């Protein structure tokens, strides 16, 4: 077995253990393998080990990888910063976008989603407490942005995403993820049909599962340590 196959097994085991520990069904959890800075060959190995969902942060890196792997039935998630002049290739080449934090971006994705593809699945990125990182809408603005996005064609608002500040303390980690869980409740009360909380990475997946995560975005624990840039 390759490292990636082994790693995938241990990540799936960690997810199942975390789900069982809080009385959740492990089948509610989707592992999204974050393949940034890893080769198409690494993605292929993960696919051979049963992995289907992959995420990328950078278009210039993702698009050639997708071309190379076009024969495989993979689901691609975009999880990077979105510049408004780069929305078209995202709308054309991904099934999910997790990092929408402005109406203008959603509007462009809606206009540019090709008519022959199913609607693009979208998550609103929320800033749950990282003062240094401006990515994500403020919690108080989530309902209004959800309202605006829901009116757009060619998109389906699936839920919320966050990337909290790093912490080694599970209670601190859970505190950040709880904000997203509470916002999900708020959206459900407002009648939005959302089913996704995209939260949890290699270092904090247990905390995320305990607070209701449905999509775990895991890079390092699947592919190993990335090269520094």
Ligand X SMILES: *Cc1c(COP(=O)(O)O)cnc(C)c1O
**Residue 36 CB: number of other CB atoms within 10 A?**
17
The correct pick among 5, 30, 57, 112 for binding ligand X (CB under 6 A) is 57
Q: How far is CA 51 from the centre of its chain?
A: 15
Is 30 one of the binding residues for ligand X (CB under 6 A)?
no
Is 163 one of the binding residues for ligand X (CB under 6 A)?
yes
Do 55 and 34 form a contact (C-beta atoms < 8 A)?
yes
Compose the 3-22 pattern: x for residues touching ligand X by CB under 6 A, - for all others.
--------------------
Do 51 and 74 form a contact (C-beta atoms < 8 A)?
no
CB of 190 to ligand X, least distance (A): 26
Compose the 126-145 pattern: x for residues touching ligand X by CB under 6 A, - for all others.
--------------------
The correct pick among 34, 42, 46, 90 for binding ligand X (CB under 6 A) is 34
Cα separation, 6 vs 63, in Å, equals 27
The correct pick among 4, 46, 74, 79 for binding ligand X (CB under 6 A) is 79
With a CB cutoff of 8 Å and minimum separation 6, the contacts of 82 are: 90, 97, 99, 100, 105
Q: Which residues bind ligand X (CB under 6 A)?
A: 34, 36, 57, 79, 163, 201-203, 217-221
């Amino acid at each position: 077995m390759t490292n990636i196959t082994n790693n995938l097994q241990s990540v799936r085991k960690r997810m199942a253990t975390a789900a069982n520990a809080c009385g959740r069904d492990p089948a509610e959890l989707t592992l999204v393998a974050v393949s940034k800075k890893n080769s198409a060959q690494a993605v292929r190995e993960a696919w051979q080990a049963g992995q289907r969902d992959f995420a990328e942060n950078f278009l210039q890196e993702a698009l050639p990888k997708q071309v190379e792997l076009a024969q495989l039935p993979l689901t691609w998630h975009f999880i990077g910063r979105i510049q408004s002049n780069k929305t078209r290739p995202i709308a054309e080449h991904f099934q999910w976008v997790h990092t929408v934090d402005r109406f203008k971006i959603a509007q462009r994705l809606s206009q540019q989603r090709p008519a022959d593809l199913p609607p693009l699945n979208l998550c609103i990125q929320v800033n749950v407490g990282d003062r240094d990182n401006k990515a994500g809408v403020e919690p108080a603005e989530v309902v209004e942005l959800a309202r605006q996005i829901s009116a757009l064609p060619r998109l389906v608002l699936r839920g919320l995403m966050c990337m909290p500040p790093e912490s080694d303390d599970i209670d601190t980690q859970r505190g950040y993820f709880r904000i997203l869980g509470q916002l999900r409740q708020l959206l459900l009360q407002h009648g939005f049909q959302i089913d996704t909380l995209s939260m949890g990475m290699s270092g904090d997946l247990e905390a995320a599962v305990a607070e209701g995560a449905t999509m775990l975005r895991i890079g390092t624990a699947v592919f190993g340590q990335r090269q520094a840039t």
